A and B are shown apart, each in its own frame.
Chain A
Amino acid sequence: KAGVTQTPRYLIKTRGQQVTLSCSPISGHRSVSWYQQTPGQGLQFLFEYFSETQRNKGNFPGRFSGRQFSNSRSEMNVSTLELGDSALYLCATNTAGGPSGTDTQYFGPGTRLTVL
């Protein structure tokens, strides 16, 4: 079974631009979560999507948004980029077939975003 795929793997943008990151889940996985990883703040939850609906949202400004398509693929968008948005963005997917926590979340390799 193919793992979680994230594209692109690396991105360089300048302040004020916007960026879209993509995550393709493992076949059969219906839930997609996004995390931001920075040296200072560590791993922080952005949001989670299931059946094209956002179920949970972390404490990030509205510049961070996401969506999920009918095939469970997900995208996240960051508008008006700031220097502090430089980070590794990871997505995690799971089957969401049972109560929370009973399904293991599998992570993709991440997209490393650098904002200049």
Chain B
Amino acid sequence: AQKVTQAQTEISVVEKEDVTLDCVYETRDTTYYLFWYKQPPSGELVFLIRRNSFDEQNEISGRYSWNFQKSTSSFNFTITASQVVDSAVYFCALISGAGSYQLTFGKGTKLSVIP
């Protein structure tokens, strides 16, 4: 069975601070995919990034960066110079197993960026 753990329930930062959201996953499959989604107050889940198990290269996209480490089963997400618009709930998710499109989500981390 697969599992995603986001230990941080809520985080508050002051605008322009950097913040890292942690994600630890469990799966027995050697092929799997990891995702981050953002859920603003409107409710819609917005896709941020997808990573497959064969690609441990870190990625940077503007103020966002992701650190994928198979050795620690972690896929952490960092926002640099946070802005108020970054306030949302962030979900880490996993797809594993051949032929499955089922996303297993963590419980989410609520990020509040204070002006």
Could you tell me which A residues sit within 8 Å of B by CB distance?
31, 33, 35, 42-45, 48, 50, 55-56, 58, 88, 90, 92, 94, 96, 99-102, 104-110, 112
Residue of A nearest to B37 (CB): A107
- Chain B, interface residues (CB within 8 Å), range: 20 to 34
| Interface majority SS (helix, strand, loop, mixed), chain A | strand
Seed contacts A45-B104, A109-B43; 20 additional CB < 8 Å A-B pairs: A42-B107, A56-B100, A58-B102, A99-B98, A99-B99, A100-B99, A101-B33, A101-B50, A101-B95, A101-B96, A101-B101, A104-B35, A104-B47, A105-B47, A105-B103, A107-B46, A107-B47, A109-B44, A110-B43, A110-B44
B64 at interface, CB cutoff 8 A: no
Could you tell me which B residues sit within 8 Å of A by CB distance?
31-33, 35, 37, 42-47, 50, 52, 91, 93, 95-108
